[in-house]
Amino acid sequence: VQLSRLLGFKFLVKLLTGRLKVAEIEARVEEILGMKGAGVLSLYPEIGVDVDKPSDLALARALLTEEEKPQSI
């Protein structure tokens, strides 16, 4: 409920109806946090891994290492 209030009604309606644009999200984040951010469009969801603990870093490194290995048939 608090997050909904923070984001605003118009923002949430657009989000729920699939009409929210990345630029609008970036602008709202800047308004709320007072700093710029950038959305990244990617076909690879693994880029969204949160890395703020040593265990997260280990996971990120493991994922990146997997990507570098040649795939066997």
Rg of the Cα atoms in the chain: 17
Domain encompassing residue 67: 42-73
pLDDT at 72 over 70: no
* 28 and 51 housed in the same domain: no
* 26 and 49 housed in the same domain: no
Q: Which amino acid would we find at residue 44?
A: Y
The number of folded domains in the chain is 2
The pTM for the full model equals: 0.63
* 48 and 27 housed in the same domain: no
pLDDT at 22 over 80: yes
* 47 and 71 housed in the same domain: yes
Proportion of the chain above pLDDT 90, given as a percent: 64
* 49 and 22 housed in the same domain: no
* 24 and 48 housed in the same domain: no
At residue 17, the pLDDT reads 98
